[in-house]
Amino acid sequence: MTFLIMTKLKKSSVLLIYTGGTIGMMQDVVTGELKPFDFKSLTKQIPELNKFDIDLSSISFKEPIDSSNMHPSVWIELVKIIKDNYKKHDGFVILHGSDTMSFTASALSFMLENLSKPVILTGSQLPIGIIRTDGKENLITAIEIAGAKEKNKPLVSEVCIYFEYKLYRGNRTFKYNSAHFDAFKSPNYPALAEAGVDIKYNKSALLKPSTKNLKTYSELDNDIAVLKLFPGISKKITSAIINSHGVKAIILETFGAGNATTETWFTNELKKAIDKGIIVLNITQCLEGRVIQGKYETSSHLKKLGVISGADMTFESAVTKLMFLLGQKLTTKEITKSLLKDLRGELTL
């Protein structure tokens, strides 16, 4: 006689990390003012959480941060929290203001190497305490995704943003809408999952989990300037930005497929910067598409100068990738090589 031994699978454990933002606000019934609510009473605000077969824990910042005040020091703190709790939990959900969520998601993707567990950022356009809030659905589904397993292993193993029924790779997103619930887009990479009656995962688009130990980084360098081109941009302003004291890298926001003015003064200013060892990274102002240096005459001169193509990276990803690489005290050659390499699924080669 053969006996089938059934083993009960261990419940998923998810850690909620509240940094601030609209999602964690309650409206005072007397004054109408919005104020942070106590996350210890989270299940009172969202009783649906009691129905989860997931162990939930939470950590809340002592002073919630408006996402407009987001800073690299906060990213470092988040990385430390995840590192300290990595072995205790199967997934992490970070509650965050939507305005700079894509920057944080992009930064964390670079600072957390060899991820084998999900780190899901979510938030809302309306506070939890508002009747029509989008926060409840966003939070509930983010937790479900963070705790989802297949063959007893996490289904997702990367830094993501979940918002309005869609899961995106964090470093592929940008906030494009402040008036509707679908606040984010990922123009150059498909959604990782869509939540309807069921959550349907786009498994071919997901990053594979790492078999190596988690490696974290806590050094960032924000000595970066941004030069956004427009017709008629002046030499005086361009020179002031490029020659700002302490600048180590410049993000050049160009037209179309990476095109820029061919005026001699502009080319000379860029050449002087590159000759001094300043990194110049070319990303397009277009919200969809990629930089292809050399496709047109108006980008060929950039390629010859040594301007680096940002391919289809978002602005948010370009900023945080540069901060990350500069923080590792790499040589200019090493940084250039890494910018052209897909480190965390942030660009299409």
Q: How much is the pLDDT for 182?
A: 81
Q: Which of 139, 23, 38, 17 is nearest to 81 (CA)?
A: 17
Q: Which of 207, 170, 171 is nearest to 322 (CA)?
A: 171
Q: Which of 200, 226, 204, 186 is nearest to 106 (CA)?
A: 186
Q: How far apart are CA 107 and CA 87, in angstroms?
A: 21
Four-residue CA torsion sign, 11, 17, 18, 21: negative
| Mean pLDDT, range 2-14, rounded to an integer | 61
Q: Per-residue pLDDT for 22 more than 90?
A: no
Q: Mean pLDDT over all residues of the chain? A: 91
Structural contact between residues 302 and 292, judged by C-beta atoms closer than 8 angstroms: no
Percent of the chain with pLDDT over 70: 93
Q: Per-residue pLDDT for 247 more than 60?
A: yes
| Mean pLDDT, range 232-256, rounded to an integer | 96
Catalytic residue among 2, 7, 22, 284: 22
| Mean pLDDT, range 45-58, rounded to an integer | 83
Q: How much is the pLDDT for 295?
A: 87
Q: How much is the pLDDT for 231?
A: 97
User: What domains can you pick out in the chain, each with its CATH number?
Assistant: 12-216 (3.40.50.1170), 224-339 (3.40.50.40)
| Mean pLDDT, range 71-96, rounded to an integer | 97
Q: How much is the pLDDT for 289?
A: 94
| Mean pLDDT, range 131-146, rounded to an integer | 88
**The pairing of beta strand 149-150 with beta strand 54-60:** unpaired
Better pLDDT: 334 or 46: 334
**φ and ψ at 268, to 5 degrees?**
-65, -40
Structural contact between residues 191 and 163, judged by C-beta atoms closer than 8 angstroms: no
In single-letter form, the type of residue at position 101 comes to: M
Q: How much is the pLDDT for 6?
A: 39
Predicted model pTM: 0.93
Q: How far apart are CA 82 and CA 3, in angstroms?
A: 42
Q: How far apart are CA 345 and CA 349, in angstroms?
A: 10
Strand order in the sheet with 199-201: 54-60, 12-18, 91-95, 119-122, 159-163, 166-169, 193-195, 199-201
In single-letter form, the type of residue at position 295 comes to: K
Q: To which H or E segment does residue 106 belong? A: helix 101-111
DSSP class of residue 279 equals: E
> Which tokens belong to 63?
């002073």
Q: Per-residue pLDDT for 5 more than 50?
A: no
Q: Per-residue pLDDT for 21 more than 50?
A: yes
Q: Per-residue pLDDT for 1 more than 70?
A: no
Q: Per-residue pLDDT for 49 more than 90?
A: no
Q: Is 22 among the residues known to form the active site?
A: yes
Q: How far apart are CA 298 and CA 175, in angstroms?
A: 29
Query: Model confidence over 288-347: pLDDT tens digits?
Result: 999 999 888 888 999 999 999 999 999 999 999 999 999 999 999 999 999 999 999 999
In the block, tokens 């990803």 appear at: 317
> Which tokens belong to 251?
């993000």
| Mean pLDDT, range 114-119, rounded to an integer | 98
Q: How much is the pLDDT for 298?
A: 86
Q: To which H or E segment does residue 153 belong? A: strand 153-154
Structural contact between residues 299 and 259, judged by C-beta atoms closer than 8 angstroms: yes
Sequential DSSP letters for 222-253? --EEEEE--TT--HHHHHHHHT-TT--EEEEE
Q: How far apart are CA 142 and CA 123, in angstroms?
A: 10
Q: How far apart are CA 102 and CA 319, in angstroms?
A: 11
Q: Per-residue pLDDT for 102 more than 90?
A: yes
Q: How much is the pLDDT for 7?
A: 42
Percent of the chain with pLDDT over 90: 73
